[in-house]
Amino acid sequence: MELTLVVLIIIVGLTFDFTNGFHDAANAIATSISTRALTPRAALTMAAVMNFCGAFLGTEVAQTVGSGIIAAPEDDSGLLLVMCALIGAIGWNVFTWWRGLPTSSSHALIGGLVGAALAASATVHWSGIVDKVVLPMLLSPLVGVALGYALHVSILWLFRHAPPRRTMRRFRMAQTVSAAAMGLGHGLQDAQKTMGVIVLALVTAGWQDDFSVPVWVIAAVAAAMAAGTYSGGRRIITTLGRRIVHLDPPRGFAAETAAAAVLYTTAFLVKAPISTTQTITAAILGAGATRRASAVRWQVARTIVTAWVLTFFGAGVPAAAIYLVLQAVTGL
């Protein structure tokens, strides 16, 4: 039973990572596609490659997810808990992708872990959730908005006398770099969350003693995310790239650069699992607001924020329900 559950968790975990890829592909490339800096296929290919590479840049966030959200559960019922958390997160990812809502796969995973842990009466590290999840969740969008706004204001001032056509052409070229930086940051942040859950399962099963991430886990997760990203999430790409605010190349560059800066800072310095979706969405809002506040479609933004708030419950409640049903069926 233990071997079966671990194998299932790895398979379900990689499935979640695949859904994370196609759900969050828009994070890296929506702005570049909407400004026509890159074609959709070229953008998806580049994002997939950068996601794969980014997954190898660090494991600090993975260790936070593996050990800082819930206490490592024991025996087969603990493995069942981890699997149900992943299933709850996958369900929320698929639902919000279908609705075209750019919600956080990271928070869906954390919500699934907490929901299943509460159903199993396992220990939840509430202080760790506040420090490493809630506070970064609140602060990273605010920083993204401020940075996106400030960067685009700086661009407007620096290039105020430059020929518009040449400036637009140069920023389309620059967006290739900023989109690549976003893709790398997405791989760095989001791939580590799945690594952390797989390692949590390995520790629960007693297959390893600490929360260090084996190379084979990094490689498998990186490949699954890259494959998901390449498959694309066009519904969410449309929402991020066109429905929130109309972007031109300078605004797209400012938004991507600001979001990438936040992703790298939180991964390497804070070691917090922040949402790439929330960060890039906030940066887009900040860059778009430099035109005028009415240029932002605030109704769409409000719908997205509502979905953000519901993410923990949308993944956590199904995860808890699935755990209780499977526990009753299997007797674990």
pLDDT in tens, 264-317: 988 888 777 777 777 888 888 888 777 765 555 666 567 667 777 788 899 999
Which residues contact residue 221 at a Cβ distance below 8 angstroms, ignoring those fewer than 6 apart?
A: 13, 14, 17, 55, 191, 194, 195, 198
Q: What is the mean pLDDT of residues 97-108?
A: 77
What does the radius of gyration of the chain's CA atoms come to, in whole angstroms? Answer: 20
Residue-level pLDDT at 224: 92
Confidence label for 147 from pLDDT (cuts 50, 70 and 90): very high
Residue-level pLDDT at 301: 62
**Residue 214, both tokens:** 């084996």
- Dihedral angle, C-alpha 209, 210, 211, 216, nearest 10 °: -60
What is the crossing angle of helices 105-119 and 2-34, to 10°? Answer: 150
Reduce the secondary structure of 216-239 to three states and give it as a string. Answer: HHHHHHHHHHHHHHHHCCHHHHHH
Place of tokens 């991964």: 267
Q: What is the mean pLDDT of residues 109-121?
A: 91
- Give start and end residues of each alpha helix (H) in 120-248: 126-129, 135-158, 164-204, 215-231, 234-238
| 3-class state of residue 37 by DSSP | coil
Q: What is the mean pLDDT of residues 181-188?
A: 87
Q: What is the mean pLDDT of residues 27-46?
A: 74
pLDDT in tens, 264-274: 988 888 777 77
Residue-level pLDDT at 317: 95
**Residue 113, both tokens:** 């872990």
pLDDT in tens, 226-253: 888 887 655 555 555 455 556 788 888 8
Distance CA 274, CA 133 (A): 7
**Domain range list for the chain:** 1-330
Mean pLDDT of the chain: 83
Which residues contact residue 217 at a Cβ distance below 8 angstroms, ignoring those fewer than 6 apart?
A: 195, 198, 199
282 touches 271 (CB < 8 A)? no
Q: What is the mean pLDDT of residues 127-150?
A: 85
92 touches 16 (CB < 8 A)? no
| 3-class state of residue 207 by DSSP | coil
